[in-house]
Structure 1
Amino acid sequence: MSVRDSSRIFLGNISGRLSDEAAIRATEVACLSRRSLLKAVAAIGLYNLSLPAIAAACGKTSEGAAVESGKGSLQQRISDAFVYTFPLHDVARTRWVATQSKDQREGALNQLRHRRKLADDQARRVTTPNNDTLYSTAWLELSGGPVELSIPAMGDRYYSLAFLDAFTNNFACLGQRVNGPGPNLYVIAGPAHHASARQSLPAGAILVAAPTNDTWMIGRLLVDGQDDLPRVNALQDRMSLKTSGAAPRGYVTTPDESSPAAYLALVNEALSRNGVPAGEQSMVNAFADIGIKAGELNAWETLPAGVREEWARQLPGLRNALLRQCDGSLIRIGPNGTWRTGLDHIGNFGEDYAYRARVALGGLGALQRTEAIYMSSQSDSSGVEFDGTNSYRLHIPAGVPVDAFWSLSMYEVEKDGRKFFTPNPIHRFSIGDRTRGLARNADGSIDIQMQRRQPDGGTANWLPAPDGRFMLTLRFYRPRAALLARRFEIPDVVRVST
């Protein structure tokens, strides 16, 4: 990714970079690249991305599903097609729910939507919510022409604007790190309008060349506590999004995850709206006889009975198969490996379609790794799961290498595995370098106490725990080289009493 100083053009097509980090919900993901798979199945003569092959390559097997040598079975090819198309389907489904469903909450296409309050223990819509920033988002549809996004001066406040294409790759991340404090004017143009937008670019504006018409913008603005909310809300009010082209197009297909006919229709509509990334057209063409055809919303009706039967048989289990952990799909860090983080290329997946599918299911919308690094832990230094009936300590070394901020969040683990903030008497859900009154050691390091009851020494460094199981998430915004290269080590959490 580069910025040309002469015309301030922001280049959008950077899918080959190894630059993104997963949201913590997507740290355990399948991980085998298309190139590796092609080498493994060269004799098969097809682009084999199936989860059975991935599991086998990782030293595991999947029950009832084996890769046949010498040919690609129908079962295997449908699994391959699902793995490739699931992210395209999932972001289209999310867009439809947000902008077209009866209970849509995020407004129309090409309009800004702002979250006005920080997440707390009442926030139950999204698992592992963020308590550091407010979100300003927009679902963009760029086929009719560019849109202009105006951002006010942010001063020294952290902010970022991430842009995802229709295949869930981050193709741009604007903000304080790349563009300074502002104010800034961005012109976001779809594939058919890159040249014309460049020619008519307003003075001082930055062109964002989107690789697909369907684009999702996720903006994050730092909030320093509840008393800072009015100031951040005022900044949100000064953001604007202008359109000048034709009215944006919604989706014709109504998503239905239980229906293979609806799955194929939504995928095919998304392909017709957005095209196929360079170098992938022949692979997509190979899926045509099993229903993957751009623009063919009625492809299901044209399939042979045997293909329809196999889609109907497999579809319920294919989504669940993405949840299967694969060795090597995450990185364990810390002295005893109790902290987990995702692979470097999360968010810009390149040819790693299986990884892309797993992240779409578990962590849609993750920031680039150069923008933020997330780590999670669910066990102490002895490998025992966290439990609120115990007391714990986390030692944060001095000089955490970030240019923005870091924070540690506590989540209660529900019976169904979802993770939310837990009610507590001091209404604290995260703690970090911005926490007022934080007590530091003589060398500048910090000891964070985690337990149910208020510590005898006071609440300064206390992160309240729930009664039962919990998970911790560390977030580092604008990490420096030591974090990016994993040279800066975070100690394991130590259990200090039971």
Structure 2
Amino acid sequence: MKRLLVVILCAASITGCDISPPTTPTTNDGFEAGAHLTIEYNANYPTEMTLEQMHKELYFQSAVQIALWAQPMVAVGVAKAGMEKAGIHNTTISIAEQRASSDNVIYTANQETVYAYGFTEIGDEPMVFEIAPKTLGFMADAWQRPIEDLGLTGPDQGKGGKYIMLPPGYAGDVPDASEGVYVFQSPTNTVFWLQRAFVTGDQTEEDAVNILKANSKIYPLSQGDSEEQHFVNQSKTPYYAVTRNDSMDYWYMLDKMIQLEPVQERDLAMMGLAKTIGLQKDKKFAPTKEQQAVLVRAVKTAKAMMEASGFDAQGEIKTWEGRQWEPAFQTKSPYFDGLGHTETLERAVFTYQAMTGAKSMVAKMVGKGSQYQIATKDANGEFLNGSNTYKLTVPAKVPVNNYWSICVYDTETRSLIANGTPKSSTGSHLNLDLNEDGSVDLFFGPSKPQDVNEANFVLTKPGEGWFTYFRFYGPLDEYFDKTWVPKVHVGMVDRQLRRQGVTNAFL
């Protein structure tokens, strides 16, 4: 052992390393820790001022990280509460019979499909979800992690069927899976589920509504399907269902969800951090007035971080070279699992903008799934502003099996822009004016340029920011191999477009 030690010491001296102990004790000198903190020591102990600052800073920084971590679960709780306030309860199905509108403040809905969805607390026994044929959807847990896809990309392959969901830790009899019957277990008490019925080809809006109403049902397994299913027309029932991230409401909802949902093993470390700010399972959450002020500042800070990362993403993530489009999903896993880590920031960013990603939104499912691209900036790298008028040219032969659309969203509410009209989107489902080569010119601005078809235009709000999702339903190979690329024109607009009212560089 002594010999080995000598060899190590010699090797260290040869390489110029000094591993001898210090001749004097290490001294903690004061330093600037960020713009608002000065850390000072007296006899190597933090001073009274520093101690007070550090306790407050630990509370604040812990709260910021918890707000980022908890965003998906708080979003589920807020959306569920908003729907309940509008009379849409546990086994009630919300259906957008006249499709989505800006009257409902809900995350990045589209106006091209008929939605049917809800939030269901499973309880102590299995719950049955009957799913309609010819739909596309998913089931997800309270953390917005997919449980299973439904419809075209799910095990029923678009035929519809019964999905039996077992509650967490269920130890009772498990129903047998069979043709058209699928059994899964939810890791959380709350399940978010959604179906989309398409309004394309020979299927009208009325057809889509009828398919959903005739084939969708939710009931406890022991009860059976004898009772009539209750639906609420979301199109005529306004409600607010997005997180505000600016008050104590965020923290009280998080506490409610922590008490409701089982703690996952992967979240034990974060639950330890949550304890730092007074959030614990089976314990009362009672922050002081001073702590409440810090918590509000923390959730506002986390909100700004999610906006910065979502609207100004860092790194090389552009979908097409020279274009501003980026994947709405900044991850390759619908579970937000990276290589050996949870993609906490990417998950927070997505669930601040949207509600749950199905497996079919991330995986390559040619002709079946869906892919979303987000744009927040114009061709010059400036944020989209409702005071400007923009033109976007979509080339011919968009690579989709079903349809494509472009929806405009308010940056604050992350919901369809409330522009005073029923229309917040455009796309192939409308009677668009096409160019001779099959491409289509779309316009976005505070007033419609002259001679532009109403279907080719979306009204924006002067002085307010907006962003857009470009949706590809049933994306084809040309989408995935990037041989189809949206057009872009960089620089100032030409005189002809100025006469039309286009004032800014193109998307």
* TM-score category (smaller protein): 0.5 to 0.7
The aligned runs of 1:386-405 (5 Å cut-off) are 393-405=391-403
1:264–1:300 Cα contact (<8 Å) kept:
no
Counterparts of 2:441 and 2:277, CA distance in 1: 55
Q: Counterpart amino acid of 1:446? A: S
1:405–1:477 Cα contact (<8 Å) kept:
yes
% identical aligned pairs:
15
1:148–1:185 Cα contact (<8 Å) kept:
yes
Pairing 1:110–2:97 present? no
Partner of 1:291: 278
Counterparts of 2:247 and 2:424, CA distance in 1: 39
Larger CA Rg, structure 1 vs 2 = 2
Q: 1:205 Cα deviation (Å)?
A: 0.3
1:376–1:474 Cα contact (<8 Å) kept:
yes
Deviations 1:29-68 (A, max 9, x none): xxxxxxxxxxxxxxxxxxxxxxxxxxxxxxxx98547999
Deviations 1:281-330 (A, max 9, x none): 2442454354232122x1437xxxxxx56632321122221223145278
Q: Counterpart amino acid of 1:401? A: P
Partner of 1:340: 326
Q: 1:400 Cα deviation (Å)?
A: 2.8
Partner of 1:475: 471
Change (3 A) 1:191 1:468: same
The aligned runs of 1:9-408 (5 Å cut-off) are 64=36, 73-99=58-84, 104-120=85-101, 123=103, 125-126=105-106, 128-154=108-134, 159-178=135-154, 179-193=156-170, 196-197=173-174, 199-201=175-177, 203-224=179-200, 228-238=204-214, 239-244=216-221, 266-285=253-272, 287-296=274-283, 298-300=284-286, 308=288, 311-322=291-302, 323-324=304-305, 325-326=308-309, 327-328=313-314, 331-342=317-328, 343-345=330-332, 347-350=334-337, 351-367=342-358, 368-370=361-363, 371-383=369-381, 393-408=391-406
1:123–1:420 Cα contact (<8 Å) kept:
no
Q: Secondary structure at the match of 1:117?
A: coil
Pairing 1:431–2:419 present? no
Counterparts of 1:433 and 1:266, CA distance in 2: 39
Q: 1:272 Cα deviation (Å)?
A: 4.3
Change (3 A) 1:152 1:263: closer
Counterparts of 1:257 and 1:414, CA distance in 2: 13
Q: Secondary structure at the match of 2:148?
A: strand
Q: 1:161 Cα deviation (Å)?
A: 2.1
Change (3 A) 1:259 1:202: same
Counterparts of 2:418 and 2:270, CA distance in 1: 43
Q: Counterpart amino acid of 2:132? A: P
2:200–2:403 Cα contact (<8 Å) kept:
no
Partner of 1:459: 453
Q: Counterpart amino acid of 2:138? A: A
Q: Secondary structure at the match of 1:73?
A: helix
Q: Counterpart amino acid of 2:95? A: H
Deviations 1:338-366 (A, max 9, x none): 22333124752231223333433332334
Larger RCO: 1 or 2 (CA < 8 Å, sep 6+): 1
Change (3 A) 1:133 1:372: same
1:393–1:493 Cα contact (<8 Å) kept:
no
2:99–2:113 Cα contact (<8 Å) kept:
yes
Change (3 A) 1:97 1:417: closer
1:145–1:243 Cα contact (<8 Å) kept:
yes
Q: Counterpart amino acid of 1:314? A: V
1:168–1:347 Cα contact (<8 Å) kept:
no
Change (3 A) 1:211 1:66: farther
Partner of 2:443: 450
Q: 1:147 Cα deviation (Å)?
A: 1.5
Counterparts of 1:423 and 1:309, CA distance in 2: 40
Gapped regions of structure 1 (runs ≥ 5): 1-60, 247-254, 302-307
Pairing 1:420–2:420 present? no
1:169–1:348 Cα contact (<8 Å) kept:
yes
Gapped regions of structure 2 (runs ≥ 5): 1-32, 41-45, 47-53, 224-242, 364-368, 499-507
Q: Counterpart amino acid of 1:365? A: T
Counterparts of 1:126 and 1:265, CA distance in 2: 20
Partner of 1:51: none
Q: Counterpart amino acid of 2:260? A: R
Counterparts of 1:148 and 1:468, CA distance in 2: 47
2:91–2:120 Cα contact (<8 Å) kept:
yes
Q: Counterpart amino acid of 1:163? A: M
Q: 1:387 Cα deviation (Å)?
A: 6.8
Counterparts of 1:227 and 1:182, CA distance in 2: 16
Q: TM-score, normalised by structure 2?
A: 0.66
Partner of 1:55: none
Counterparts of 2:462 and 2:456, CA distance in 1: 17
Counterparts of 1:493 and 1:356, CA distance in 2: 32
Q: Secondary structure at the match of 1:84?
A: helix
Please give the root-mean-square deviation of Cα atoms over the aligned residues, in Å. Answer: 4.1
Counterparts of 2:292 and 2:67, CA distance in 1: 12
Q: Counterpart amino acid of 1:207? A: V
Counterparts of 1:66 and 1:153, CA distance in 2: 63
Counterparts of 2:38 and 2:157, CA distance in 1: 52
Counterparts of 1:415 and 1:241, CA distance in 2: 33
Q: TM-score, normalised by structure 1?
A: 0.67
Change (3 A) 1:487 1:116: same
1:127–1:420 Cα contact (<8 Å) kept:
no
1:338–1:377 Cα contact (<8 Å) kept:
yes
Q: Counterpart amino acid of 2:217? A: S
